[in-house]
Structure 1
Amino acid sequence: MSTGTPDGLVAVLDAIRNADGVTQPQLVQRLDLGRTVVAQRVAQLEAAGLVVQDGRAPSSGGRAPRRLRLRAGAGLVAGADVGATGMAVGVADLSGRVLATVHEPVDVADGPDPVLGRVEELVARLVEGLPGAPPLWGVGVGVPGPVEFATSRPVAPPIMPGWDGYPIRERLSGRFAVPVWVDNDVNVLALGELRTNPAAAAAGDLLYLKIGTGIGAGLVSGGRVHRGVNGCAGDIGHVAVTEADSVICRCGNVGCLEAVAGGAALARDGRRLAESGGSAVMAEILAHRGGLTAADVTAAAERGDPAATAMLARAGRLVGGTLATLVSFYNPGLVVLGGGVVHAGDHVLAAIRESVYRRSLPLATRTLRIEPSLLGEAAGLAGAVHLALDALFAPGRLSRWLPSGSPAGRPDLAPDAEPALV
């Protein structure tokens, strides 16, 4: 099997990271590496302070072998999941366990300076608040728009005015003197699900579909996030659908799926029905609150409002029709549904499932599972953390910083020599 590097260093570390107290003999068996090579790599990782002994396993006839584990407390990584209207910022140990987190409202349309300035403040505060905190090793960031992954810069993001081409990596690495990686929010959600949901890890090939203010998909193939050549794979919110051929999308085009089935579209159409007398329940909510959100549409449906129920069913049908095409094309084992519109109730989820199973190829849905996210909103922060961790321990990068014992002070590690990191 491929070990990621000529000497198997990354493979040995990955096996230790992903197992609970693995032994050297088990590493030899699992990695198909010689005992001498495994012993040398373990010694190298122990000398660098990344791996430590964790007791001994039962003996099988000789001296009991040592259990090995990652020294998770050797460093910290920070994650920031920036959304359209809110963000989560946290710090985690090297195992990905989040140690401290803060959730705050944010308006991404305010621009990069105030938003990233607040991210910097929160990361610094969280690190300082951990007694005896080890150094920060890296930062992962998710943002709600297209990102050129190689440069970590947003490219013409529809809901992020002022962010086009903004050097997010350079700003944060300049502040913290660590490598920084940036991706779009749905890829980060998909990665969070992959790294923390056993069903997602077992599937290997999965789609993460987010229906929030907008619509997007994250693709995982063979346990790796698939970003495409420029980083915009999975942007299904701007796929054309005939039902939207007269609706102008926020991206400037006409006929996008997001323009008729996203959260912003539900809020817009719900307000229209409330003002025209088409929904007494939504009219009541509008009068009480002065505005309508997608969550209000769901609340109206839960109260039995037929207009709201029909809106959600239509949105689910439209999303499901597009998703069915992806399922037949990509043949994933699992589809994970997330975002505020999905988590608000079962109306959209049921309609999506019905459309996918009805319109996809029978072979493509034979073993397909369609499930809501186990993590919910927490998947974004988990994914941002693992974005940094996977990059730090990636082939071609680990060996660059391991001799010095830490990637802290090495922002130059972030530009990617390889196209895929996870």
Structure 2
Amino acid sequence: MLHSLSGRAETLMQARLLAELRDHGPLSRTELGERLDVSRTTIGAEVGRLTEIGLAQETGPAASRGGRRSTMVDLADDIRFVGIAIGASRLEVGVTDGRLAVLATEQVVCDIRQGPDVVLGTAMAAARRLLDDADVAQPMGVGVGVPGPVDFSRGAPVAPPLMPGWDGYPVRDTVGRELGCPAVLDNDVNLMALGEQHAGVARHARDFLFVKMGTGIGCGVVVGGALYRGVNGCAGDVGHMQVRGDGRRCVCGNLDCLEAYAGGSALAVDAAAAAADGRSPELAALLAERGRLTAEDVGVAAARGDLVATTLMRECGQRVGEVVAGLVSFFNPGLIVIGGRVSGLGHALLAEIRGAAYQRSLPLATGNLPIVLSDLPDHGGVVGGARLVSQDVLASPVPRRS
């Protein structure tokens, strides 16, 4: 690749310019000057330098606005990022261009409990296949998400309940070393929130919550357009908030956590119990056909009119909605996005979440509050991973080299 060794902007102005091109490009020099409030001469000089180091390119004349025609500017064609979204039972690896459009992805069934060596080895093999197919020797950066608490500064998980053997493992450094590029690590729901902000329904939202419903349950918090992690990176860990229940033990060791009733694994366990004791004919039939049940099977059975499956889905949505109501009262967001694999149960689940949230929140907070399903059910984590690392390696200046 033609990029500088650092792969970064050299000045703050260049960083701002690259961020504009990533999020809104291609743009004319005139538009860039207006957006950044600088002169045409300054834009010309900065674009020239970014072109020299292989981060930007001029793509021809812009549409006439009267007078001399401006020149269109875009990110370099060969910029590539890698996003890796690791879940409890599968992972997805994707390659994006500089504007974070997904060019290719690969999904692999992989149990997080196999440990970091196996799971990361699987992810690296998939990444290399995608990069080889795209004829990319080295990406500019890689962003990784995992389903557990993360020390963002160290790039390592911290006592993740769903991830035995991962505590303190240097995921960021391992992945960066393997792919030979800068790497970042964050909680998976934070990446999903960033993906939704970049290319999903939250593109125009400044203050929103992204609630991920998968094997675990988490919440990405975006304030003023920026991801909020909290002091130690634990913000949004709503899956372990206490809800009404019967004393069920959660994987974290506490009782009556939301995740213990509404997480994907919990729904699967409840579905299997209903199938085994004869309460649900549809779930029993699905179990006999497939050998195991998932949260998605609850939706299938409910769609076929199974009363027990419908009840399981309603109770799941209501519990999540009750927690969402608490978040609304505390945070007063402008938008709530529901994503993750369990959200694939669709609008029936969404209706229960909305009903509970709206009923338990003050009208002032919910009068104009959309609660919607994610626009990126498939690749949100990949886009978010690419977005996160792009903020580090593309749109962050380093001292100018002599």
Q: TM-score, normalised by structure 2?
A: 0.92
Alignment of 1:315-334 (within 5 A): 315-334=316-335
Q: Distance in 2 between matches of 1:213 and 1:250?
A: 11
Share of identical aligned residues, percent? 44
The change in CA–CA distance for 1:293 and 1:135 in structure 2 (over 3 A counts) is: closer
Q: Distance in 2 between matches of 1:20 and 1:212?
A: 34
Helix, strand or coil at the partner of 1:254: coil
Residue number among 32, 54, 59 corresponding to 2:59 in the alignment: 54
**Corresponding position: 1:180 with 2:195:** no
Q: Distance in 2 between matches of 1:276 and 1:7?
A: 64
Q: CA deviation at 1:153?
A: 0.3
Alignment of 1:380-399 (within 5 A): 380-395=381-396, 398-399=397-398
Alignment of 1:237-256 (within 5 A): 237-244=239-246, 246-256=247-257
Q: Distance in 2 between matches of 1:6 and 1:94?
A: 19
Q: Distance in 2 between matches of 1:9 and 1:319?
A: 43
Helix, strand or coil at the partner of 2:33: helix
1:338 corresponding residue in structure 2: 339
Stretch moving more, 39-48 or 234-243: 39-48
**Maintained 8 Å contact 2:82/2:382:** no
Q: Distance in 2 between matches of 1:12 and 1:232?
A: 32
Q: Distance in 1 between matches of 2:284 and 2:22?
A: 54
1:128 corresponding residue in structure 2: 132
1:111 corresponding residue in structure 2: 115
Helix, strand or coil at the partner of 2:43: helix
Q: Distance in 1 between matches of 2:138 and 2:204?
A: 33
Residue number among 156, 164, 176 corresponding to 1:161 in the alignment: 164
Q: CA deviation at 1:189?
A: 0.9
The change in CA–CA distance for 1:196 and 1:7 in structure 2 (over 3 A counts) is: closer
**Maintained 8 Å contact 2:325/2:358:** yes
Stretch moving more, 276-285 or 171-180: 276-285
Alignment of 1:277-292 (within 5 A): 277-292=278-293
Q: CA deviation at 1:219?
A: 1.1
Q: TM-score, normalised by structure 1?
A: 0.88
2:352 corresponding residue in structure 1: 351
The change in CA–CA distance for 1:214 and 1:23 in structure 2 (over 3 A counts) is: same
1:194 corresponding residue in structure 2: 197
Helix, strand or coil at the partner of 2:203: helix
**Corresponding position: 1:91 with 2:92:** no
1:206 corresponding residue in structure 2: 208
**Maintained 8 Å contact 1:72/1:95:** no
Q: CA deviation at 1:203?
A: 1.4
The change in CA–CA distance for 1:210 and 1:60 in structure 2 (over 3 A counts) is: closer
Q: Distance in 2 between matches of 1:40 and 1:5?
A: 13
Unaligned 5+ segments in structure 2 are 1-8
The change in CA–CA distance for 1:261 and 1:58 in structure 2 (over 3 A counts) is: closer
**Maintained 8 Å contact 2:19/2:395:** no
Unaligned 5+ segments in structure 1 are 405-422
**Corresponding position: 1:66 with 2:67:** no
1:276 corresponding residue in structure 2: 277
Residue number among 96, 101, 107 corresponding to 2:105 in the alignment: 101
Q: Which has the higher contact order (CA 8 A, sep 6+)?
A: 2
Residue number among 55, 60, 84 corresponding to 1:80 in the alignment: 84
Q: How many residues align?
A: 394
**Corresponding position: 1:139 with 2:138:** no
**Maintained 8 Å contact 1:143/1:183:** yes
**Maintained 8 Å contact 1:309/1:347:** no
Partner AA of 1:231 in structure 2: G
Q: Distance in 1 between matches of 2:263 and 2:67?
A: 62
Helix, strand or coil at the partner of 2:84: strand
Q: CA deviation at 1:61?
A: 4.2
Partner AA of 2:204 in structure 1: A
Q: Distance in 1 between matches of 2:41 and 2:15?
A: 16
Partner AA of 2:313 in structure 1: L
The change in CA–CA distance for 1:16 and 1:164 in structure 2 (over 3 A counts) is: same
Q: CA deviation at 1:300?
A: 1.5
